[in-house]
Structure 1
Amino acid sequence: MVQARRELAPDQLVVHIVPMRRRHLRSVLKIEAQVYARPWSLSLFVSEMAMRTSRAYYVARINGVLCGYAGLMVSEGDGHVTTLAVDPEWHRNKIGTRLLLTLARTAIRRGACNLTLEVRVGNSAAQEMYRRFGFRPAGIRKNYYVETNEDALVMWAHDVDTPEYTLRLAEIEAGIPGVTLVSDGLR
């Protein structure tokens, strides 16, 4: 039996972050349907995962339960966060922060100098997390989320390949309670 989220203190969490595989997609799609009005399809995830040279997708698991996932595309020195979602039952446990740390480090390892993403203008919690990572507003994409008629805030973090940014990531990681175990599939 898996211990319920509310029974685990933040400092007791052991979060495993591993590359997304096809076997994870049933759970990924359940979260996707919970958090997005227009969820990605199975075929879209499979297609994205197949582009291994330019994409990286990860899942976060606690006690074997998939609680979040994130994706990244790297092209011409820029890393683009394609998706990041956490099961609502696991919000406020720094799962998104752990996933974004993994994406940022993967992007840097793959040669990114900058990171970018889109976030709903009304999602202030996500925007605050992104600001901690050095993302700053760069513009608005009108009606980007057509299913809800909501605009997207475009955010960029520049010079992520510097020692200063590496230090920023280390400081963010030091502030996360519990343990994060990352298997990036490279070792």
Structure 2
Amino acid sequence: MLGQLRPYLFACNCSRAQIARESTSGAYPGTCLHKSIPLDAPDVSWRLKTDDRLLKMKTYDQGPLDIVLPDDMQYFIIRKRDGFPAYQLSSLADDMLFGVDLIVRGQDLFGSTAAQLFIASLLAGSKFADTTFYHHALINAVDGGKLSKSAGATSVQYLREEGKSAADIYEAAARMLGAKQCVRNWKELAALYHQLK
């Protein structure tokens, strides 16, 4: 994968503070794009040269969409300074490896989906564009905060390890949406969500 991406990579040694000073929006302004910093230089991240190409996204609820990378995803990082892959690359690699064909994620990750589709567009033979996406509105925890693993919310994996069935989890999600009716699978949960919108 990295071999195919190498022509599109550039090294960046900008700090978050430097980017904040150079960009009022907080989006990376391309500062290191033409500096020719070696990829093996110490303390650099790897960014992807991006453009405004049209990306095709298959969606569960809206059909096919034509999208472009949002401004805040231009020149996004694919390898962090510590040498580990960034979310966009690692998530794409996992989904491709396991043949994932339906991805359900929060609306706040729409830009990440665009970034992953962009990476896939650079990879010969990638079937990632055939994946169907569903971006739901954010679900809030009881305290009103974002419901996410990174914020300490209980994961579906944990619930399954504790003996909860898939139906139990769909029921719990339906209750979080304020529903009283029985929900047994993801299609019924999606239909319920659309009714409540």
Pairwise TM-score range, normalised by the shorter structure: under 0.3
Relative contact order: is structure 1 or structure 2 higher (C-alpha 8 Å, sep ≥ 6)? 1
TM-score, with normalisation over the residues of structure 1?
Answer: 0.26
Q: Which has a greater percent of strand? A: 1
Query: Looking at CA atoms only, which structure, 1 or 2, has the larger radius of gyration?
Result: 2
TM-score, with normalisation over the residues of structure 2?
Answer: 0.25
